[in-house]
Every structure is written in structure tokens, then in C-alpha cells.
Amino acid sequence: MKQNCCVAVQIMSSCSYPNSADDLHLPSSLAQVSIDKIDEAVIKGDDKNLALLLKKEKLWSRVIFKSGTTPLHLAAAKGYSRCLIILCESANQIQLKVIINFQNNDGLSALHLTSQYGHNQCSRELLLRGANSNLCNNYGDTSLHTACRYGHAGVARILISASCNVNIQNKNGDTPLHIACAMGRRKLTRIVMEAFPNVEIRNSQGDTPFDIVKRKISPKL
């Protein structure tokens, strides 16, 4: 869906970027029409047109929609790996270091979105370029929590191979293993177990992952 909201960016030094979309301003050099075209190319997965647009417009990495979403978030959610690569390669090292881990208003990074929608290749590309797999969203979920919640075993393997922390607890105290067990995802449970997580961690209800499994097998326990 096209972003029908105001777009905001901030003019700042190359090593200073915002952490949210609040109180930002649109530089005159970045015309609304250019933003709309970049947005449209990403949503359609039109990597050739996107590459042409980015040759003319170098400020895409400072584009933040009202929701806190960036063009990189859009490419990640859609699973358009070519567009994602083009966006990353058009940013300089300092820009990329920040924008690749930029979190929207829900605390979601681009990697959270590839984990939610099960986009293996996009997840690999983000990790290769420095995406932080241990960032937590507004609920405290990491990308691995998200992959376990939505049932994406391939992404989970990729994240674990990239040495993500398998013991991070979200705001309910759940680790990714708690989530995999609670959702009844046997394959994901095995994958996470292969990373040797701490199985004694208890969530806010005082449950270990094993407690959750026992209750699912025998609800009366």
C-alpha cells in the first residue's frame, strides 16, 4: 500500500541521524515527487527504475514516513531483495550503519520485518550489511522472537547462524524458545534448541519453556 502520509526527513551532518520521525523537516532538494517515485518503485519491486532514481536522489536514507517507516522497511516487508540491496549500496557507510537498524514507531527494524514475513534472502542481505539481530521492538521481541512467532524456520536458522542472542527475554519474560513452544512450532523448537539456549529461564508467569510444553500436552497440569 502506498504511503499516503506526509514524509519527513531531517537535514543533518553525515554522522547524525534521528531516532524517530518526530519534528523532522523536508529538505527542499528532496522533492515530494522524487519521494513518491522511490516509494512506488520499492513497493512494486521495480529495481531497475529504483536504481535510476537513486542515481539522481542521494538523500533517500533520510526519508522517514510519518509511521517511522523508511524505504528499506518497505523493501524488507515485501521481500524484494534486489531493491533492498540497491538501497543499501546507494547509502554511504555511516548512513547505512544507522538506517539499516532504524526502528519505526512500533520498534520494528527492517530485519524484524523480514523475520515476520519469512524473507530468507533479505534477512541474509541485511545481516551481511550489519543489521543488529538483537534489537527489540516495542514488545521486547527480537527478530528471532518474531521468526518463532510467525513460524519461519529458515529465517530462524539464518539468525542463529549469525550468532543472535537466543536468551533475550521480551516484556513478558519470554525467550524465543518460550514463543516457539507456546505456538506449538516443533521444527522451530528444535532449531532453537540446537543453539543451546538456557532452558531454565522463566517468563513473567513463572513458566520455563518446558512448563509450556507440558501444559500443551496435558492441559490439566
pLDDT in tens, the chain (221 residues): 444 343 443 322 333 334 443 333 344 455 555 778 888 999 999 999 999 888 876 667 667 777 889 999 999 999 999 999 999 998 888 888 889 999 999 999 999 999 999 999 999 999 999 999 999 999 999 999 999 999 999 999 999 999 999 999 999 999 999 999 999 999 999 999 999 999 999 999 999 999 999 998 866 54
Q: How many domains does the chain have?
A: 1
CATH code at 190? 1.25.40.20
Q: With respect to residue 8, please indicate whether it lies within any of the assigned structural domains.
A: no
Cα separation, 163 vs 87, in Å, equals: 25
* Predicted pLDDT at 154: 99
Residue 10 lies in a domain: no
Say what the pLDDT of residue 64 is.
Answer: 78
Q: What is the pLDDT of residue 62?
A: 66
- Residue 5, domain member (yes or no): no
> Would 163 be classed as within a structural domain?
yes
Question: 65 pairs with which residues across the strands?
Answer: 7
> What's the pTM value of the predicted model, to 2 decimals?
0.84
Q: How far is CA 7 from CA 2, 95, 98, 107, 169, in A?
A: 12, 18, 19, 18, 34
Q: How far is Cα 113 from Cα 102, in angstroms, rounded to an integer?
A: 12
d(CA 175, CA 69): 26
Q: Decide if 14 is inside a domain.
A: no
* Cβ contacts of 76 within 8 Å, gap of 6 or more: 84, 110, 111, 113, 114, 119, 122, 126
In a domain, 19, yes or no: no
Which range marks the domain in which residue 37 is found?
Answer: 29-217
As a whole number of angstroms, the distance between CA 71 and CA 37 comes to 11
What does the alpha-carbon distance between residue 180 and residue 156 come to, in Å, rounded to a whole number? Answer: 11
